[in-house]
Structure 1
Amino acid sequence: MNIIIVDDLSPITLTYKAILLREGYEVEAFTKPLEALSYMQQNPDQFDLVLADLYMEEMNGIDIMLAAQNINPNVKTLCITGGGAYDQDTSLMQTARSVADTLAFKPIHSGQLVGMVSNLLKTTQRPAANTQTA
């Protein structure tokens, strides 16, 4: 299964990527949301889950998840937020809850991350390769 991580904080993307690589996932990590969006557009069938931070300067996680869902309707989405004052914006949090398959709050421990990703991807099945017999 292929995962895209989008968080504007490099230490977070590197940590999440290392955790998920250890679990056997294929992972692409981006600190610039527009680069992630470009990657998704160029590889529409090459990702099963998008993990996005809610608050980023270039583009918020809601917009990233909506774009991912438009590019790949079967994609699962996990939105992560750091809490704090931003999370008091109830309309934004309601939107995040309605767009994301799962909403989680930092800090997230490795076991929690792996569990959430595993649960989301249990329902994701890639189509079988088109094989023809002669």
Structure 2
Amino acid sequence: MALDKPYEDVPGTTIFDSDQARKGYHLNQFCMSLMKAENRDRFKADERAYLDEWPMTEEQKQAVLDRDYNRALALGGNIYFLAKIFSTDGLSFQYAAATMTGMTQEEYADMMLHGGRSPEGNRYKEEKK
């Protein structure tokens, strides 16, 4: 029985729910593998070969290779697991979040220091009617 998911109506928002968890299980397991130094080294030495050891979809693998975190989220990635990828790259959470919003790191930091993203345009689509 499908659950009602009113949160699917929020523009630009991906909620990590049980369906997303199932879809991204192997992607997130790959990310968690990067907690071990030897796995980070293997991944950095040959990203494609390491990714091919995981039963992820080709689209998930390509999102990782492209460092397209928004696409990885849509494909079931959890932001806290995806953090293992940008940490492996030596990047901060702030840097990754900025790239996901289309901002520079400085613009993103400034926005967050001034109260975060405006709710205007980020409400339920149904509320705009």
TM exceeds 0.5? no
Normalised to the residue count of structure 2, the TM-score between the two structures is 0.27
Larger Rg: 2
Normalised to the residue count of structure 1, the TM-score between the two structures is 0.26
More strand by share: 1
